[in-house]
Amino acid sequence: MTLQFDYTGSPARILFGAGIRNRLPEMVRDLGCSRVLVLATSHQKDDADTLACALGDLCLGVYANATMHTPVTVTDAAMQVVSEQRVDLLIALGGGSTTGLAKAIAYRTDLPQIILPTTYAGSEVTPILGQTDKGVKNTLKSPRVLPEVVLYDPELSSTLPMEMSITSGINALAHAVEALYAQDNNPISSLMAAEGARSLIWALPRLYKDPQDGAGREKALYGAWLCGTVLGNVGMALHHKLCHTLGGTFDLPHAETHTVVLPHATAYNAPSVPQELAPIAEALGTDKPGLGLFHFARKLGAPTSLRELGMQEESIDRAADIAMANPYWNPRKLEHEKIRALIKQAYFGTPPDQ
Ligand code: NAD
């Protein structure tokens, strides 16, 4: 078999390690910047203030109003601060929501960004930006939104509550699963996806036992970086389409929806891509990767049904219709009845059969 592939690496500088956040002032100076705005959610304002203090005169202030799904109204308001204060660098401390705000401002201004991720969502290494305008979420892809520097400090994720750590970690795992069978996968993305999945499958049970477990935090964040990188590198399929549909249409929570749907989407695709999914099955110690993921999530106390996330049973048909409209490429043919059955299983939390 001949080897042929197309691989584009991310230009971002990645620094990883406990305490690496202390090198932030040096990173700011390396970029030649001196008018920093720190972004956060209101929930993480205190941590953002601490970071701003450590930057001293380099920092103009904190904008702690980042919101899930990046509403354009929030970006508009932040833009006013950015232009009034002549900000020359954005620093985001937080999960996908805060990173989303930094990316949205960078998309409009081309300002450089340094991201300090505190969840496992992976947005900081993708060129993807999802924004919500008048209740409708749209996604665009542009190299303009890629940050210049990412500081992965596992100590920053140690405050993430256990339940969120598990669902955020499984959200990252979902990127790896779909990268392994992506239409445009390549040897590098598959290596990263397999290593990312192994890392999370090792780390999450440790965090379930003890959310302060340092080795678990380190390995989970390392896995999240790899999984986020492949999300930005190759195309996603049925699982991500379903989560996009369910999250956007029925306003279901992001990481939890990924957690519930992943076993079912994996089981649907497993017969078509058994070799590609072998690293997942192996890491879970099973030959049924979908079922293995279901038990993995359940053992970690994660939600297993869309019903418990607040979806209504009568929405199953609509969800199937939307999932079948403009479908993503998928390794197994999509059939309406089978997709409806998949969503129904996910709704009730019925274990998949493979
Ligand atoms: P989030 O950023 O919305 O965080 C959820 C809550 O947890 C927030 O209140 C936040 O302040 C808090 N939090 C975060 N880290 C914490 C910590 N260490 N300690 C205590 N609290 C903490 O959640 P998320 O799952 O990281 O991000 C979800 C958003 O990111 C969605 O809008 C999703 O669409 C987007 N996303 C985008 C991409 C992309 O490539 N564009 C990828 C993944 C997710």
Q: What is the pLDDT of residue 234?
A: 96
For the Cβ of 157 lying below 6 angstroms from any atom of ligand 1, the answer is yes
* Ligand 1 atom closest to the CA of 156, numbered from 1: 18
Is the separation of the CB atoms in 183 and 233 below 8 Å?
no
Give pLDDT tens digits for 54-111: 999 999 999 999 999 899 999 999 999 999 999 999 999 999 999 999 999 999 999 9
Regarding the beta carbon of 118 and ligand 1, being less than 6 Å apart is answered: yes
Among 62, 68, 125, which is best to mutate for testing ligand 1, by the most ligand atoms less than 8 A from CB? 68
Closest atom, ligand 1, to C-alpha of 158: 18
| Phi, psi (degrees; rounded to nearest 5) at 149 | -135, 140
Any ligand 1 atom below 6 A from CB of 117: no
Write out pLDDT tens, residues 8-48. 888 899 999 999 999 999 999 999 999 999 999 999 999 99
Give the burial string for 308-326 (b: 16+ CB within 10 Å, else e).
ebebeeebbeebbebbeee
User: How far apart (Å, rounded) are the C-alpha atoms in residues 80 and 207?
Assistant: 40
Q: How many whole angstroms separate alpha carbon 213 and alpha carbon 203?
A: 9
CB atoms within 10 A of CB 186: 19
pLDDT confidence band for 130 (50 / 70 / 90): very high
The residue that leads in pLDDT, 2 or 278, is 278
Instruction: Say if ligand 1 is within 6 A of residue 165 CB.
Output: no
Q: Is the CB of 168 under 6 A from ligand 1?
A: yes
Locus of tokens 């999914």:
277
Q: Is 126 in the pocket of ligand 1 (CB under 6 A)?
A: yes
- Which pTM does this prediction carry? 0.96
The long-range contacts involving 74-83, CB below 8 angstroms and separated by at least 24 positions, are 74/101, 75/101, 75/104, 75/105, 75/108, 75/131, 78/39, 78/105, 79/105, 79/108, 79/109, 81/37, 82/37, 82/109, 82/111
Residue 1: pLDDT over 70: no
> What whole-number distance in Å separates Cα of residue 166 and Cα of residue 93?
20
Q: Are 51 and 25 in contact (CB under 8 A)?
A: no
Instruction: Check residue 23 and give its pLDDT.
Output: 97
Confidence class of residue 134 from pLDDT cuts 50, 70 and 90?
A: confident
Task: Look at residue 233 and tell me whether its pLDDT is greater than 80.
Answer: yes
Rounded CA-CA distance 254/226 in Å is 19
Measure 166 CA to ligand 1 centroid, in angstroms: 13
User: Which of 10, 21, 39, 41 most suits a substitution to test ligand 1, by most atoms within 8 Å of the C-beta?
Assistant: 41
- Render pLDDT for 275-319 as a digit per residue (tens, 0 to 9): 999 999 999 999 999 999 999 999 999 999 999 999 999 999 999
What is the layout of strands, in order, in the sheet containing 113-117? 13-16, 149-152, 113-117, 89-94, 36-39, 59-63
